[in-house]
Structure 1
């Protein structure tokens, strides 16, 4: 039996231990929420899906003085390398499940390649995807099509602009490309060819509707066959514009600034101006592959450039 003094000391020690435990800091989780968002465009459910982010030395990539890029980023509380989103968009029309772009897969390192886990977190399985529309065949848009050489989306038909397919899937073009550009061809071939072999690839040869409510519109320049996709339901529109813009903080104010990834700089700028002018005039929603996730918003003209108005956060109702 403990004497009264020892019992008192024991009780104080126990109470102190419990109080310390109760006030201890909870462990840090250090992981983000699943990268998906959701909205309705008319009767269509649209789910932007994050493939992750990648740090880009945009001061070396944009075609203006590096110090000018760095100064603009600093004014926007950003820095180089710029953490850049890589977005895809899943569209459920009610009769078709269509994925626009697929992220980088294993082509760009561990900070990307998250599309599949986020697609599943959003409530879908890769086997459910009916069609995949590729804006262009750069690796950060097609890499998610395959895993270890096998098709990730076994039931999907993949579609992309014919000019992109003719260019990036050509062995002759890869052979004559500079050494630092060959990887673009290798990534496209590794990602697209398994679908070609399975009879699951179909080139887009002109503008027009692919499935009811989703149309392809050629906007060449960034690549030879770069294609945008217009989603339309009950009078509401969303244009998925791929890589018409990469660095909003710079290129909204100065849309003439192009980037080293552009195949044809003049055509890329012309496509951006044409699309942005139309979106600003008509007020429809746009989605960009490299705008900050979820990459959705509206455009307004502002001086010689544009103002980006991110979509207001909304719940599904």
Structure 2
């Protein structure tokens, strides 16, 4: 119980360490002296899913040092050994930010929004890549939000406060919205977490009533698009499942940060999970379900093009991006 409480407390604080004077989590900034991550060119990738199209749109990549705090319940030596076994660096972690666009008939549904103009120099590329893929922000009719961490919601409004997708309904999980908009929870939160609450209010408090739509996880949000409760990473973290012509795509948001670590070891707890035990349980359940269905998977922090397949590997799962 004590260990779980420590994990929860650390999970609450770690993602909420905000850079001074900004609304971007400090971990989303590039770490000095570790080089600069290379962004893919082009920064979008299309794939067909039955009668619809899925487009991954990278918003950028942040590089952070790999410290003992990143995986809360595994020795750093084991973490580095697993990375080395896959030919990955062992002194830093590259974290991509990749929203997805669903093109279905006349619908243009964006899932998560990236950091917008609130991040570092290797982020904020969503609109550029959206246009490169043949779409503009005015073409988006729906934005689906998995959860309220800054790298998923900051792209909704720019620093001037303007709404980036002016014609879109912004659909958010009701329990997620209720948690972050609760004044009592904000008042009781540690100081390191108050920036995250303030960022949510900057984003949503003045959003027009006809733009903001709350939904209950588990409900259908559009024809062929269903929400799936996956609480743990945050109190209302929600996944989205797209189905067409007998095929399925599962956008898993932050179910796992860095699949080379947390898909391969689903019981490991990333520092950003607010309830590590709930996140571990739903991570295992979701990967098992996706593998059983032979469904395509996409993740916000997965390596580009950020969608592909999973296969059983040891005690967990291996993610293979689409070629």
TM over 0.5: yes
1:43 and 2:45 correspond: no
Residue of structure 1 equivalent to 2:210: 199
| Distance of 2:315 and 2:181 partners within structure 1 | 38
Runs of 5+ consecutive residues of structure 1 not aligned to the other structure: 1-29
CA RMSD in angstroms comes to 1.7
| Distance of 1:219 and 1:190 partners within structure 2 | 25
| Distance of 1:267 and 1:32 partners within structure 2 | 33
Residue of structure 2 equivalent to 1:56: 64
Structure having greater relative contact order (Cα 8 Å, sep ≥ 6) = 2
Where 2:202 maps in the other structure, the secondary structure is helix
1:65 and 2:75 correspond: yes
CA contact (8 A) 2:58 2:99 kept: yes
Q: 1:57 to 1:168 in 2, by over 3 A?
A: farther
Residue of structure 1 equivalent to 2:244: 233
Which among 32, 41, 55 is matched to residue 33 of structure 1?
41
Deviation at 1:186, TM superposition (A): 2.1
| Distance of 1:231 and 1:261 partners within structure 2 | 26
CA contact (8 A) 1:107 1:187 kept: no
| Distance of 2:135 and 2:264 partners within structure 1 | 38
CA contact (8 A) 2:179 2:185 kept: yes
Residue of structure 2 equivalent to 1:75: 85
Which among 225, 230, 235 is matched to residue 219 of structure 1?
230
Residue of structure 1 equivalent to 2:99: 88
Deviation at 1:231, TM superposition (A): 0.5
- Which range moved further: 123-132 or 77-86? 77-86
Alignment map for 1:1-317 (pairs within 5 Å): 33-59=41-67, 60-63=69-72, 64-76=74-86, 77-147=88-158, 148-195=160-207, 197-311=208-322, 313=323
CA contact (8 A) 1:149 1:194 kept: no
| Distance of 2:226 and 2:203 partners within structure 1 | 23
Residue of structure 1 equivalent to 2:34: none
After superposing on structure 2, the runs of 4+ consecutive aligned residues of structure 1 that deviate more than 6 Å are none
| Distance of 1:207 and 1:33 partners within structure 2 | 36
Deviation at 1:294, TM superposition (A): 1.4
| Distance of 1:81 and 1:190 partners within structure 2 | 31
Instruction: Give the paired residue count.
Output: 282
CA contact (8 A) 2:148 2:176 kept: yes
CA contact (8 A) 2:40 2:304 kept: no
Name the larger-Rg structure.
1
Runs of 5+ consecutive residues of structure 2 not aligned to the other structure: 1-37
Deviation at 1:230, TM superposition (A): 0.5
- Which range moved further: 145-154 or 173-182? 173-182
